[in-house]
Amino acid sequence: MPELPEAEAVVRRLRRQTRGAVIAEARVERPRSVEPQTAETVESLAAGASIKTVKRRGKQVLIRLSNGLTIRIHLGMTGDVYVVDDYRFRPVFARVWFRLVSDRGLIFEDARVLGHLNIYTDAELAQVLDPLGVEPLSAEFTPALLQQLAAGSRQPVKVFLMDQTKVAGLGNIYAAEALFAARIDPSRRAGSLRKTRIARLHAAIIQILSEAIDSTATAYSRPGAFSEGESFTPQVYGHEGEPCVLCRRRIRRIQQGGRSTYYCPGCQS
């Protein structure tokens, strides 16, 4: 599921579904999902609080409660958060769930258990969020700032883009797609990019994320939308060996930082 656009889709859906919701009870099925907190801590802190706001920071979902605490969910690779009509309905991979007073359920599902759900005070939350870099869809994200962040970095630009302490929210798919849109070789050192490419990359990041949010948020909100082809379609990610949509050369897959990077050797140089 989750890079920034998917987290944003989750947030928008939750906002609609949890307006005025009050948490009656919390249950942790998998203590690992709330580490370093304990199941008991999480279960006791949420009970009785109402949901005030739902926000996103990078890839993380933040549910602000009336008791001043915040449920912070990192979706990991396979996390999802959603409301079900009956709290007794328990999806196979529900790791934490909340019974709302309406008897609906708020579910944190996470097959691989690489995500985390915690309940934090503002101070604790700040510790978690402060290291994150700029929000790519905010006004603070400018070409000049991107240039400044990349300056001196000898990392491949693809790896640089996935560093959450620089720009928050890009993962393996959208980093690759942004580089394709900007026609930049993913292996280029981030610090070697000059004004023109930085400007293209900046614009591409915003464009790719915005597009993905539009299609993803739609798809999440309307049943069947995915099957109607409304989800974001990667141009290079997952397309190893297929012809590039622009130049027909074959898309390549390489390893960078232990992850697959897909790119077009013709367009991206």
Partner DNA sequence: AGTCACCTGATT
Partner DNA sequence: AATCAGGTGACT
Q: Does 172 bind DNA (CB under 7 A)?
A: yes
Segment contacting DNA by CB under 7 A, of 99-107, 133-141, 201-209, 253-261: 253-261
Decide if 259 is catalytic. Answer: yes
Gap between the Cα atoms of 111 and 24, Å rounded: 25
Q: Which amino acid is at 265?
A: P
Q: Is residue 5 at the binding interface for DNA, with CB under 7 A as the rule?
A: yes
Q: Contact with DNA (CB under 7 A): which of 17, 41, 67, 164?
A: 164
Catalytic site residue from 13, 56, 59, 99: 59
Structural contact between residues 190 and 156, judged by C-beta atoms closer than 8 angstroms: yes
Per-residue b or e along 228-264, where b marks 16 or more CB atoms closer than 10 Å to that residue's CB? eeeebebbbbebeeeebeeeeeebbeeebeeeebbbb
Smallest gap, in angstroms, from Cβ of residue 111 to DNA?
A: 4
Residue closer to DNA, measured from CB, 104 or 239: 239
Based on the residue annotation, tell me whether 72 is a catalytic residue of this protein: no
| One of 171, 198, 205, 263 touching DNA (CB under 7 A) | 171
Pairing of strands 60-65, 70-74: antiparallel
Place of tokens 């697959």: 260
Beta bridge partners of 99: 25, 105
Among 1, 49, 117, 167, which residue sits at the site for DNA (rule: CB under 7 A)? 1
> Binding marks (x or -) toward DNA, 55..94, rule CB under 7 A?
---xx--------------x-xx--------------xx-
Q: Give the total of residues touching DNA (CB under 7 A).
A: 34
Decide whether 3 or 42 has the Cβ nearer to DNA.
3
Single out the catalytic residue among 27, 183, 253, 259.
259
- How far apart, in whole angstroms, are the C-alpha atoms of residue 179 and residue 45? 43
Nearest Cα residue to 10 out of 73, 68, 71, 90: 73
> Among 10-18, 118-126, 135-143, 251-259, which window interacts with DNA (CB under 7 A)?
251-259
C-beta separation of 154 from 189 below 8 A? yes
154 binds DNA (CB under 7 A): yes
**Residue 226 identity:** F
Binds DNA by CB under 7 A, chosen from 16, 20, 32, 210: 32
Which phi and psi angles does 118 have, rounded to 5°? -135, 160
Among 47, 111, 203, 245, binds DNA (CB under 7 A): 111
Q: Annotate 164-209 with DSSP letters as a single string.
A: TTTBSS--HHHHHHHHHHTT--TTSBGGG--HHHHHHHHHHHHHHH
Contacts with DNA by CB under 7 A lie at: 1-3, 5-6, 32, 58-59, 74, 76-77, 92-93, 111-114, 153-156, 159, 162, 164, 171-173, 216, 255-260
Q: Which residues are catalytic?
A: 2-3, 59, 259
